[in-house]
Chain A
């Protein structure tokens, strides 16, 4: 709860945030404007509160395990249950993770104080929540979205989660239930509540903000960011104002938004609802509203007027936390490369725009190191093979190995050759382990080196395009993220060399993910994929044209729309005839050249 002003000023002409600073709303070229029933136009002003469960081993104030999905009421201890006489002790790791977040968003990490937020609820064991109130650990940061729009972060504070109630009988909500069951496994799980400034101007920005925040939390090991498991929960503070004005109007807090898709829908619905109220002269009441996914509407949960007085006061069982400048600096120094910088790096290496979808998606999924490493390997493989871009520089491969790979102790044992016997199962585990897996940990380190990046930069445009396509489209984050860059590079090298078509490559890739022992070469051989040379392909295309003269005539003379439609037909026919081995792009190019 951050909508109460701790400074206690009741009457204020200038709207202020929870720390008493004036509220400002930035302009953007992407502002959601909704039309009310009377046609008046209203623009969105939105701030987001994200609760992230911290990736600690134990709870915020006790040694009970912080683990999701266990049997109810097993991850508990006397402190979790708030038994009489128990006392909280701050989890130091949680404090470090909060400070890490502060550093990651360029915020101030300050001396902080825990307070008690008092209200009665059965899933809150002590009937108060320990949270930070007027002295949060993190204040005043910023987060740049992939689009370049900057969202201010007002504060981030540490607190404990509540337990989880299950209402039995009735419609599953508390009213009308026969009885309720409480699981205290979640009670006391450390939360970081991250409060943005009202700098979110569209539903798309809201989604991008949450997505970017999640990338940062995951990259820094702060949270696992799983919205579906509730380890990241989003509330939206929504208000609207006349288009072009600089007012701050009454806001509503929308809860129960469980996915990025719901977030966008809920904001759009709520903005329209408020616009209609304003337009008809009604009052928007400051309240908490519940998003109902099924009807796509929000409804009143509780209004500000009937809200509890939380009677915040400093938690007397805890002392203030002050990490000190030195420790904060040490934490800042260990930050990994953050998503914005990684997008810049991937964009620079591949020649794509920072805002390109492929760049954004690859970084969001955390697979940019994999992509960059694969590119570096393709350069290396190309220079090894005859006719590669570095054929005339025989020392490049050696230099790469000597200066980059070996010093970083990257396992470079070659993947099994297509006809090599399968690994000896009686051999020691270390040598039988997937050598590329051993290298995976080192990959992140060597792609950060100038040499590694230089090698990636030198990859051919075709290789760059194929790697991005594979990572974004053909290689899911699930399982695919573990595919070693070397194996991906070998596949791309075969593709670029014309040994595999795009369609074939996709099939080979699926095999590589399923079978850690397979290589692109071994799979291609096993599947009987052979390079279809241009002559053979052209003969096949000619045969199809001959067999479909009327379609060909339409193709030749038709407008682009007709031609586009028939391209699909001809490519399909060629694919059918070649059992999917033809390269669709190549077929299209042949059709175009024959038509003119």
Chain B
């Protein structure tokens, strides 16, 4: 089935992959300004239709690109992402550039500092083109919860791009940038990556610094890349990973070397297909693609079996206590006193209430209420305390599975992209993340790799999961899937 929009995503990217761009810019074959111009043309052609961005920073991008060309001209090396345009989710702080979390409460707020990942991307020579749309404060699975309007799926503009990092996924899928950054609290990188047909990575918790990521749920949030290829995702991850003293939960070790292992193959790699995530609630098209993916891995030399990870069944329940609890506290600071929206009232207290009432959208308020309740005296043990125990169980069940397997396999999302406005019920919406949430609770890495389409012609993603700091085997398996993915063109 073809979507109502006749347009198709611009793929491959107008200037090739990020690796190709960086190689050619560093060698002086192409100028970063020319590369940027190609992407600007793509943005101008389709951004009005897609609405991937809250804010475009093309003037600054041109200045940065010109500086990179100047540095190459005088023999300097601007870094591994030299001249690579990148889109940043609008919950990453960018010095001097509006950062809103797609919320009215932060409309117009300009951070005085850069997130650590932004500093590292600049140091690697990349060129930021804009801030991408998201579900308000990253709460959602469709990017419909943005205060500034929804983002549309480049494969079919009647459909959602997934969420919460829908803008970043759509930007890469639409060819607005070869790579982008998102954040993943319960699947917010992987699910939109699957729905938009791009690669999306949620790294091990603590591998990438969260300093400058506006927190949703601190113990679950993790920043990661979107890319059109597995190798590009690896290059970006290498650039942003590694210890940061400004984040106390940052793992005290250097970024892993992933790219050099991408072609190592997977002979003997032990792969487990998670039984609990292949049954009820998973669309048959999706389950079929995951089985094909498992066969492809086996054909490449992996040992593939089914494995039960029983506690994943409780992931959603635990997540919807822990994440809102942390969010209720993290979002307290938006009180109108120091920055962002202020709705005046007679007293300070009334001002805070009026500001928060006007500034937050319905889903954000729902989660603040949920989380406040879960932490309240007398309910803490039954809700938050119990959820933490479930979290421990999930981590333990994964650890048991990883005694026998190097990586695990599952769907990323139970379905392909759904129509805008199709899901009204929050609980049904929450089910979108049933396959992705358990990994966040365990703190492990996982990524989504495009693997063919459904009978509706829309992209399907396969999720590769790995144990803590198991990024290298995860990427090796992903590289094999990328090479083996069904080749029929999406939307043709």
| B337 and A122 contact, CB distance less than 8 A | yes
Segment touching B, from A123-131, A147-155, A246-254:
A123-131
| Residues in B whose Cβ lies below 8 Å from that of A180 | 348
| Residues in A whose Cβ lies below 8 Å from that of B45 | none
Assess whether A313 is interfacial by the CB under 8 Å rule.
Answer: yes
**A132 shortest CB reach to chain B, Å:** 15
| B112 and A83 contact, CB distance less than 8 A | yes
Assess whether A69 is interfacial by the CB under 8 Å rule.
Answer: no
Q: Which of A78, A85, A86 has the most CB of B within 10 A?
A: A85
Q: Mark B381-410, 1 if CB is under 8 A from A, else 0.
A: 100100000000000000000000000000
Q: Mark A75-89, 1 if CB is under 8 A from B, else 0.
A: 000100111111111
Q: Which of A87, A122, A182, A309 has the most CB of B within 10 A?
A: A87
In B104-134, which residues have CB < 8 Å from any A CB? 106, 109, 111-113, 115
* Bound-complex Cα distance A317 to B384 (A): 17
| B218 and A84 contact, CB distance less than 8 A | no
Closest to B212 in A: A85
* Bound-complex Cα distance A207 to B213 (A): 48
Pick from B212, B348, B377: contact of A309, CB under 8 Å: B377
| Residues in B whose Cβ lies below 8 Å from that of A81 | 338
Assess whether B314 is interfacial by the CB under 8 Å rule.
Answer: no
Q: Mark B79-123, 1 if CB is under 8 A from A, else 0.
A: 000000000000111000001010000100101110100000000
| Residues in A whose Cβ lies below 8 Å from that of B375 | 118, 311-313
In A151-210, which residues have CB < 8 Å from any B CB? 174, 180, 182
* Bound-complex Cα distance A180 to B246 (A): 32
| Residues in A whose Cβ lies below 8 Å from that of B213 | 85
**A6 shortest CB reach to chain B, Å:** 10
* Bound-complex Cα distance A309 to B375 (A): 9
| B329 and A87 contact, CB distance less than 8 A | no
| Residues in A whose Cβ lies below 8 Å from that of B380 | 8, 311, 313
Closest to B375 in A: A311
Take A83-B111, A316-B326 as given contacts and tell me if A88 and B333 are in contact as well, using a CB distance cutoff of 8 Å: no
| B247 and A182 contact, CB distance less than 8 A | no
In B242-264, which residues have CB < 8 Å from any A CB? 245-249
Assess whether A68 is interfacial by the CB under 8 Å rule.
Answer: no
* Bound-complex Cα distance A313 to B99 (A): 28
| B248 and A317 contact, CB distance less than 8 A | yes
Take A87-B247, A89-B245, A127-B332 as given contacts and tell me if A182 and B337 are in contact as well, using a CB distance cutoff of 8 Å: yes
| B113 and A78 contact, CB distance less than 8 A | yes
Assess whether B339 is interfacial by the CB under 8 Å rule.
Answer: yes
**B10 shortest CB reach to chain A, Å:** 32
**A535 shortest CB reach to chain B, Å:** 79
**A404 shortest CB reach to chain B, Å:** 47
Count the B residues whose beta carbon is within 8 Å of the partner chain — how many? 47
**A588 shortest CB reach to chain B, Å:** 67
Take A8-B380, A84-B333, A116-B329 as given contacts and tell me if A89 and B339 are in contact as well, using a CB distance cutoff of 8 Å: no
* Bound-complex Cα distance A84 to B282 (A): 37
| Residues in A whose Cβ lies below 8 Å from that of B247 | 87, 89, 317
In B420-457, which residues have CB < 8 Å from any A CB? none
Q: Which of A88, A125, A316, A318 has the most CB of B within 10 A?
A: A316
| A85 and B93 contact, CB distance less than 8 A | yes
Assess whether A90 is interfacial by the CB under 8 Å rule.
Answer: yes
| B99 and A84 contact, CB distance less than 8 A | yes
Assess whether A120 is interfacial by the CB under 8 Å rule.
Answer: yes
Q: Which of B111, B334, B377, B378 has the most CB of A within 10 A?
A: B377
Assess whether A319 is interfacial by the CB under 8 Å rule.
Answer: yes
| B248 and A318 contact, CB distance less than 8 A | yes
In A81-103, which residues have CB < 8 Å from any B CB? 81-90
Closest to B352 in A: A120
| B384 and A122 contact, CB distance less than 8 A | no
Assess whether B210 is interfacial by the CB under 8 Å rule.
Answer: yes
| B215 and A85 contact, CB distance less than 8 A | yes
Assess whether B349 is interfacial by the CB under 8 Å rule.
Answer: yes
Assess whether B219 is interfacial by the CB under 8 Å rule.
Answer: yes
Take A8-B381, A316-B219 as given contacts and tell me if A127 and B211 are in contact as well, using a CB distance cutoff of 8 Å: no
In A298-321, which residues have CB < 8 Å from any B CB? 309, 311-313, 316-319
**A224 shortest CB reach to chain B, Å:** 28
Q: Mark B203-241, 1 if CB is under 8 A from A, else 0.
A: 000000011111101110000000000000000000000
| A84 and B338 contact, CB distance less than 8 A | no
| Residues in B whose Cβ lies below 8 Å from that of A10 | 378
**A93 shortest CB reach to chain B, Å:** 15
Closest to A123 in B: B337
**B245 shortest CB reach to chain A, Å:** 7
Pick from B217, B333, B381: contact of A126, CB under 8 Å: B333
Pick from B111, B219, B249, B338: contact of A125, CB under 8 Å: B338
Closest to A167 in B: B348
Pick from A84, A88, A309: contact of B111, CB under 8 Å: A84
| Residues in B whose Cβ lies below 8 Å from that of A125 | 333, 338
| A311 and B338 contact, CB distance less than 8 A | no
| A120 and B335 contact, CB distance less than 8 A | yes
| Residues in A whose Cβ lies below 8 Å from that of B328 | 118, 311
Take A316-B219, A317-B249 as given contacts and tell me if A122 and B335 are in contact as well, using a CB distance cutoff of 8 Å: yes
| A313 and B329 contact, CB distance less than 8 A | yes
| Residues in A whose Cβ lies below 8 Å from that of B332 | 118, 120, 126-128
| Residues in B whose Cβ lies below 8 Å from that of A313 | 325-326, 329, 375, 380, 384
| B211 and A85 contact, CB distance less than 8 A | yes
Assess whether B376 is interfacial by the CB under 8 Å rule.
Answer: yes
Assess whether B158 is interfacial by the CB under 8 Å rule.
Answer: no
* Bound-complex Cα distance A51 to B210 (A): 32
| Residues in B whose Cβ lies below 8 Å from that of A122 | 335, 337, 348
Take A81-B338, A313-B384 as given contacts and tell me if A127 and B333 are in contact as well, using a CB distance cutoff of 8 Å: yes
Q: Which of A127, A128, A319 has the most CB of B within 10 A?
A: A127
**B347 shortest CB reach to chain A, Å:** 9
**B129 shortest CB reach to chain A, Å:** 20
* Bound-complex Cα distance A84 to B384 (A): 24
Q: In the A-B complex, list the 5 residue pairs whose CB atoms are closest, starting with the nearest.
A: A127-B332, A311-B375, A316-B219, A316-B218, A84-B214
* Other A-B pairs, 17, CB within 8 Å; known A85-B93, A85-B99: A8-B377, A78-B112, A84-B101, A85-B115, A85-B211, A85-B212, A118-B329, A122-B335, A126-B332, A174-B348, A182-B337, A311-B376, A312-B375, A313-B329, A313-B375, A316-B249, A317-B249
B interface residues (Cβ-Cβ under 8 A, vs A): 91-93, 99, 101, 106, 109, 111-113, 115, 210-215, 217-219, 245-249, 325-326, 328-329, 332-335, 337-339, 348-349, 352, 372, 375-378, 380-381, 384
Sample (16) of A-B pairs whose CB atoms are under 8 Å apart? A8-B377, A8-B378, A10-B378, A82-B338, A83-B338, A84-B99, A84-B106, A87-B210, A87-B248, A127-B332, A182-B337, A309-B376, A313-B375, A316-B249, A317-B215, A319-B248
